[in-house]
Amino acid sequence: MQQLLRFADAIDRFQDRIGKWLYWLTLAMVIIGAYNAIVRYLDKYTGMTLSSNTYLEMQWYLFAILFLMGTAYTLRHDAHVRVDILYTRLGEKGKAWINLLGTVLFLFPFCILMLWVSWPAVANSWAVLEASPDPGGLPRYPIKTVIPIAFLLVMVQGVSMTIRAAAVLRGADPAPIGETSIAADDESTEAG
């Protein structure tokens, strides 16, 4: 089980690196969005054309990348919206069962479906080197490629979740190697 938990740790560290990269991407998106808003007003008063479809599409692309690539990072940190009526009242093993079954029965099949559905559109976009129809627009094939990459990342994070849920069900500590779990910390403080 320790080998699998080390593998889950590696997945989590990888997702965290992507998440940190996305923080900077968020800043870039905000700067480009602010620039777009400012120059649109300056265009009216200066008579110059400082705004461009390129910047508008770049902002849209960055948002799409942020949303799609951030899904696995959000899943890794259990920050998705969840209906907690039952889940929060369960113990560690009950939560592990819900996470395990939810991942195997819903997350993996959904990701596989999305890969299967999105791949033809991505392949076609690359085949024709699809570009924006707007003047000054950006190529579309790179942004479409982010869709299957994002679902692959979510599947990989699902593997980590499955390993950690299985560890809990087997009585092992699912916390990253070298760290203790929150539940173990709580028990040690109650005992002391």
pLDDT at 187 (0 to 100): 46
The pLDDT value recorded for residue 109 is 97
Q: Which of 172, 190, 192 is nearest to 2 (CA)?
A: 172
Averaged pLDDT of the chain: 86
For residue 189, the model assigns a pLDDT of 41
- 38-79 residue pLDDT tens: 888 887 777 777 777 888 899 999 999 999 999 999 999 988
pLDDT of residue 179: 52
Is residue 184 predicted with pLDDT exceeding 70? no
pLDDT in tens, 103-137: 999 999 999 999 999 999 999 999 999 988 888 88
d(CA 126, CA 151) in angstroms, rounded, equals 18
Q: Concatenate the DSSP letters of all residues of the chain into one string.
A: -HHHHHHHHHHHHHHHHHHHHHHHHHHHHHHHHHHHHHHHHHHHHH------HHHHHHHHHHHHHHHHHHHHHHHHTT-S----TTGGGS-HHHHHHHHHHHIIIIIHHHHHHHHHHHHHHHHHHHHHT-B-SSTTPPBSHHHHHHHHHHHHHHHHHHHHHHHHHHHHHTT---SPTTS--HHHHHHHHHH-
Q: Residue 178 above 70 pLDDT?
A: no
Give me the pLDDT at residue 56, please.
Answer: 87
